[in-house]
């Protein structure tokens, strides 16, 4: 649950809320922080709202949360916080962070009742987090060999850095996360895992990816987009990092008016399960690089699709557009003509590019088609639109656009899929 910087600047933090006595609050039936609000915050909000993490303030203790009470109420009533873009009536997602109406009503009643603290004995146990990580304490951390120097202004071209893992043997990982050295200057990071070919990683910054290196099929250490947390795979699911692998990362930096030195890292958690029992996590993307979004068009559609080459299960999806992005839909089309909507995001938000993890993975047989349909608002009504008079094409920078439908898959229970799964 993240409250915007603009709201912070508006002074919403410094509230003087009359706090009635404990007895009067209980007598009036007013929710209290200890008994009613802390459980909601601990379950849905403090993964981000904790010291030294994504959100600008902590909501762990009563002293932390009380000054922000009215701001929290405003954001949850508008369903802006916690951030969640998918329509969960279409399909269930295991990482659905949205609040129920009862939880929203409870927060509103707490604020309207003076935001009482309640009895400390009612407080649930405070969640424990590894410092700076959402996946828990990593077993291994891979860090850029040299810092990247971001200038104070101007446009920084896409840059490629190679980070060694120095692995002496293949490993299987159950979670991974990119940790920015300085979040203020990182627009996105797209990493590839390179097989060992005897070339030592030097940390040299390049303007193009190394086409002479072989990509490790299906391997991942996690990329980065605004406000993204790490990835934790389901029980029994993991991805392999080969011995001697290097990480080649496409780094997109933006300037902020002052020079910044960034040295980012990747953390991974090793699986505790035997290799023979693991189901492999893989992924891919559907993309359209040839679109031309009409000037002034408030609902321009762009589609892309990919034919599935071997049977698998669709496990997660992450649509990626820039500031004209409006909505996103993923559909699985079966060889027999059936169609299943896997994801519908009616209100895409560039600042919250989430990876939606299906509660029940969707079986995709060989020959099925995964189609993505993204819509864009290039009109003047889009307050984020840098130029509604421009015809917009694919481009690296935020004022241009992209159409990338990332997705992740997992193998079936026995290491491959079975067609008995019902949809």
375: closest CA among 411, 406, 344?
344
- What is the spatial order of strands in the sheet that 186-194 belongs to? 159-164, 246-253, 186-194
Going by pLDDT thresholds of 50, 70 and 90, the confidence category of residue 258 is: very high
pLDDT number for residue 21 = 46
Which residues is 396 bridged to in the sheet?
Answer: none
With b meaning 16 or more CB within 10 Å and e meaning fewer, what string describes 250-271?
bbbbebeeeebebebbbbbbeb
Lowest mean pLDDT among 218-232, 244-258, 297-311: 218-232
Degrees, nearest 5: CA angle 89-91-96: 85
Is residue 161 within 8 Å of residue 115, measured between CB atoms? no
pLDDT number for residue 225 = 79
Instruction: Give every CB contact of residue 14 below 8 A, 6+ residues apart in sequence.
Output: 67
> 310 by DSSP, 3-state: which?
coil
Is residue 189 within 8 Å of residue 223, measured between CB atoms? yes
Cβ neighbours around 300 below 10 Å, total: 21
pLDDT number for residue 134 = 85
Is residue 85 within 8 Å of residue 349, measured between CB atoms? yes
Degrees, nearest 5: CA angle 108-90-98: 25
pLDDT digits (tens, 9 = 90+) for 9-19: 333 333 334 44
Cβ neighbours around 204 below 10 Å, total: 10
What domains sit in the chain, N to C, each tagged with a CATH number? 5-122 (no CATH), 130-274 (2.60.120), 278-423 (2.60.120.230)
């Amino acid at each position: 649950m993240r409250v915007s910087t603009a709201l912070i600047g508006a002074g919403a933090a410094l509230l003087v809320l009359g706090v009635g006595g404990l007895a009067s609050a209980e007598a009036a039936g007013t929710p209290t922080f200890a008994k009613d609000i802390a459980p909601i915050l601990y379950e849905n909000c403090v993964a981000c709202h904790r010291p030294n993490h994504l959100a600008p303030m902590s909501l762990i203790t009563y002293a932390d949360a009380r000054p922000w009470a009215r701001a929290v109420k405003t954001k949850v009533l508008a369903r802006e916080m916690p951030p969640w873009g998918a329509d969960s009536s279409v399909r269930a997602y295991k990482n659905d962070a949205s609040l129920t109406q009862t939880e929203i009503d409870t927060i509103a009643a707490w604020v309207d009742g003076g935001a009482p603290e309640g009895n400390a004995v009612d407080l649930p146990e405070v969640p424990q987090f590894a410092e700076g990580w959402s996946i828990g304490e990593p077993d291994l951390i891979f860090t850029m060999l040299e810092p990247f120097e971001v200038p104070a202004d101007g446009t920084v071209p896409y840059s490629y850095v190679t980070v060694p893992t120095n692995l002496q043997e293949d490993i299987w990982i159950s979670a991974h996360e990119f940790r920015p050295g300085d979040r203020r200057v990182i627009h996105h990071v797209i990493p590839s895992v390179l097989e060992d070919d005897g070339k030592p990683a030097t940390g040299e910054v390049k303007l193009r990816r190394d086409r002479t290196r072989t990509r490790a099929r299906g391997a991942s250490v996690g990329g980065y987009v605004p406000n993204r947390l790490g990835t934790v795979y389901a029980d029994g699911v993991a991805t392999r990092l080969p011995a001697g692998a290097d990480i080649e990362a496409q780094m997109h930096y933006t300037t902020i008016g002052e020079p910044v030195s960034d040295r980012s890292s990747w953390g991974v958690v090793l699986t505790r399960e035997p290799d023979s029992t693991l189901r492999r996590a893989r992924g891919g993307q559907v993309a359209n690089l040839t679109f031309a979004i009409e000037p002034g068009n408030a609902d321009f559609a762009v589609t892309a699709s990919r034919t599935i080459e071997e049977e698998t299960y669709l496990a997660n999806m992450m649509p990626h557009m820039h500031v004209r992005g409006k909505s996103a839909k993923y559909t699985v089309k079966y060889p027999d003509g059936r169609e299943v909507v896997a994801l519908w995001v009616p209100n895409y938000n560039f600042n919250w590019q989430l990876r939606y993890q299906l509660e029940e993975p969707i079986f995709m047989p060989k020959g099925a088609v995964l189609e993505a349909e993204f819509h864009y608002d290039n009109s003047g009504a889009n307050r984020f639109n840098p130029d509604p008079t421009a015809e917009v094409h694919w481009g690296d920078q935020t004022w241009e656009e992209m159409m990338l439908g990332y997705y992740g898959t997992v193998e079936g229970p026995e290491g491959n899929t079975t067609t008995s799964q019902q949809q």
